[in-house]
Structure 1
């Protein structure tokens, strides 16, 4: 689906930051500078939507959904899908094309751990320490204190371990701010980081004797009937100069991601079979850690995010998020899952091409990409219309519009405006 060109981008001014500061800001937050007042032009209705009567039957306001999808059409979104009670209420984009999940991979890994949690053979004991499991790191070994972190600490991003990790370039500034450079007693500091997730991957494969790909294929893809999963959809990023623990990366289509989300709505049951323990699912929205952030990322637990009050999302909602605003929302109260995807391949390809081929330093390269869509008339360039990075505030506005389209949902403009500003 081709999106309408977004003319508003071209005329807007950038926040005055140096290129170096812009690079640091971009990488630390997965953002470019805010484009204030950027409003999407009117757009057609979703490519797929149920009749007005069926949309209302499932609890949605047809015009409200059209407004949300119209807003999305002005972003560089590639798919948006809302499924309620197993029915696709509205969607656009290629729902069958597997796309890079980025950090949504962490929620998928959490499910695999949940399937194999326990104290028996080939199971993962949540209370076991890294020392008891024989987990270390190189080139920088763990200290005695760090080795006391447990599997549960890793699942809750509470290990306190500040080692470098594969595939975490965008997390370094926030990780350093929270964890510093010294030792931290396990369980005392929450910090979203890839070391915990990558070490958890190592533990999973060592304890179960299965690769992540094998476990996903037999434990999730087959019982859920994922239609677009193929061999090679799960790969690894290794950075042995930083850490021995690899990052397992996933590609999934929007419709398969929606089925994965529905597993949580259905308390882990698929066709009468308990695929994921219900107790594991119940932990997410109850046993989470306050992050110190507001809005959509107020809580975090078991590698899922938990929105805070004022986001217009009902209590019990949790969601998975990845670079470029990849998202999977599970909203039990609405019996709904929401999937959003944006292809980041072109964005990252251009960045690395500027660094490797044009020999630009990273801050100049990212500055060039960020400013390229702000020049007059450049809103017509395909890259700017189709591939630019979606800002967190734009994504927060989209979620607010979707929430406003839920029938019976009282719109709280003052509270929602406040959290969208903080996002």
Structure 2
């Protein structure tokens, strides 16, 4: 017998020959209590009175609709599924529901396809398959169903999350628009921790989950032609700041070695700085939300990194505010792709801004001037390591020697003299101004 909470399941079935056997199997092996209703009228009365007590609902395919009916109705599943959807809407909460049947009724497959609505399909990721067969001993039999109900019941918060954010999760997961199971898992866990922190006390991830989900969004944008190859580096990582700038309607640099060969942007440039107020994919608000999340999250959190991330108490309010902003970004992005699904058409909006040296047509005079500005002479790494310098404040981070930026976590060295012990290359959008990042230092 499983040493767990006894979960209560509403089972609608009028076959008395199997009720006792299944009730015993569920209770002895899975600690499930089956509350039997022989018709839908009785089942709905129980459901409305004890809605919060039920962990799952099981429907037979061939059952009576009303207490007074003399025989089962071929419309039972259709009527019951419609009533369930209405009750869920009234209660603002879902209960996992399943079909347990021998599948012998007329046009069973047709009826099953009709009741397996988009709403139910969106829950399949967590609830499992809709249909289980009474006469099966395998993965689609009663044992598998009872086991699945226990697994789902152990984390009921997920059901609330999926209901409240259905317009987000319709775009996430296997076979969805953002076709990454891990992105869905990250969002489920983050939102579950928000709505029920008591169930998610040990909240840890390999890498910052906010940044990882954003990278999955950008990978999807690349798949649909909304992001150029220039936003993916040699290691296969999305260069998130460049991706954010491109989709926000700004120019991004294209490099050959350390030299800028050209720029690329989405659509026509505007008159503002870096082409601001021209064409863009992101709205101004969405671009700001994306930038805020990138500024907040760690830089070393790509989708194939393994650093451990946990929510610190002093920033948990900020963290969850960004989780909700990320939910809005996903919802907005999903709608945008639905309206712009043509990859070739999306690619046609990628505009190259060339330098005068390349001999190609100049697309944007101001952008060309920006690109061709004479570069300052950069000291070598070897000459900088071991040297000392005074750290000044740029407003976002410290800088030393005019070409090295400090990591955000080293802000305690601001306005002090430090010795540079190790440097790494800067592949961010400010790499021209600060080609190196001080990865190890000490107070001089």
TM range, smaller chain: under 0.3
Greater RCO (CA < 8 Å, at least 6 residues apart):
1
**Structure number with larger C-alpha Rg:** 2
TM-score normalised over the length of structure 1:
0.23
Q: Pick the structure with more strand per residue.
A: 2
